[in-house]
Amino acid sequence: MSKKWLSFIAVIVLLPAVTLFAMVTGSIDITYTELLMNFFNENHENIGIIKDLRFPRIIIAIFAGAALSVSGVLLQAVMRNPLAEPGIIGVSAGSSFFTLLILAFYPSLFFYTPLFAFIGGMIAFFIVYSLSWKSSLHPLRMILIGVAINALFTGLGQTIGITNASSMINSVQTDMSTLTMKTWSDVNIIVIYGSIGLLLAYLLFGWCNHLSLKDKTLHNLGFPVNRARLFIAIVAVLLASIATAVAGMFTFVGLLIPHIGRNLVGTNHKLLIPFSALAGGLLILIADTLGRTLLAPIEIPASIIMAVIGGPFLIFVLRKSGKLYGN
């Protein structure tokens, strides 16, 4: 059997297995049989608590991971740069800043936060894109501009965090993510918008594949390069902003997973997008589960676990990035 299918089978088996493990692990003890036997039993005391405390964060972790990884895949296709990632180039920071802005000054618009997160993400994306376009998306220049935009929006977000003591702001972290205190209404938002985004992303796999050729070549094949880029970018920002609005900032997942994905299932986006969704969900779920079990009862935020894995990995990718798209 080929490496591609083995990789798919691995994530398809591991995802429910880790989900189950995450469900039974934590301060309330419950066995696998107890959980499975009483799954739909509303009256079972512990099951009810677990459903309200653990299930939302598990679902959110999976969807946030899937959304961020696929967002990374799409941005990498649009920018033709294996280092493009919503966290690194400031899309997540833009989303986060706009979310905080709304919470601080117009708390009544709370339910529209996904929309504002999306607008913030788009603004950050267009600044980076238009500034690095001049250098024909030179990888290093794009990363430098991204770092600058990321720093700007992270700083602005933190300023709001410091100057506003409202409890809602405190619950939304400015520069890290904890998946504690998530409710079923958070789950609804990320499941609805996340699913739409993931579905749209999958439908765009053909366009993502086309973008691996040069613009000139595509132009002379009658392919609307710029329109395709814009569509794909919108979906990428939608995915990143929804994940950021609900789960907070995660860097590196959108870098790590697509890179591993390309090695395992190849560059065809028809396989790369679904694989990245599954593997990304699995990775954040593992990070979150590790974070809350390693030093229990102290919780290490999942984003910190991700940063610790992601940092060294970025160095690894930078050293190899020349080879990714070949010639």
Partner 1 sequence: MEIKDLTFSYDKQKRLLHKITAHIPKGKITTIIGPNGSGKSTLLQLLTNNLKTQAGQIIIEGHALQQLKQKQLAQMLSVVHQHNMAPEDMTVESLVYYGRLPYKKAFTSYKEEDEEIVDWAIEAVGLSNWKKKLLHTLSGGQQQRAWLAMAIAQKTPYMFLDEPTSALDIYYQYDILQLVNRLNKKEQLTTVMVLHDMNQALQFSDYIIAMKDGELVTFGPPEEVMTEAYIKEIYGIDVILHEDDRVGKFIVPLKQM
The residues that touch partner 1, with contacts defined as CB under 8 A, are 203, 206, 210, 212-214, 216-217, 219-224, 266-268, 323, 325-327
CB of 279 vs partner 1, minimal distance in Å:
18
CB of 51 to partner 1, least distance (A): 40
| C-beta closer to partner 1: residue 216 or 319 | 216
Residue nearer to partner 1 on the CB measure, 48 or 224? 224
The total of other beta-carbon atoms located within 10 Å of residue 234's CB is 18
Nearer to partner 1, 222 or 297 (CB): 222
Quote the least distance from Cβ 266 to partner 1, whole Å: 5
Cβ 323 to partner 1, closest distance in Å? 8
Angle at 324 between CA 122 and CA 195, to 5 degrees: 40
**Structure tokens given for 294:** 């390693």
| Complex with partner 1: residue 3 or 295, whichever CB lies closer | 3
Q: Which is nearer to partner 1, 81 or 244 (CB)?
A: 81
Which residues, 6+ apart, have CB-to-CB distance to 146 below 8 Å?
A: 84, 88, 89, 90, 128, 132
- C-alpha–C-alpha distance, residues 172 and 143, integer Å: 27
Residues 94, 162: Cα–Cα separation, whole Å? 17
Closest to 101 (Cα-Cα) out of 157, 177, 172: 157
> Least distance in Å: CB of 82 to partner 1?
11
Q: How far is the CB of 216 from partner 1 (least distance, A)?
A: 5
Q: How far is CA 120 from CA 23, 102, 110, 279, in A?
A: 34, 11, 15, 27
Select 5 or 214, whichever has its Cβ closest to partner 1. Answer: 214
The residue assigned the tokens 């990321």 is 150
Cα radius of gyration (the chain)? 20
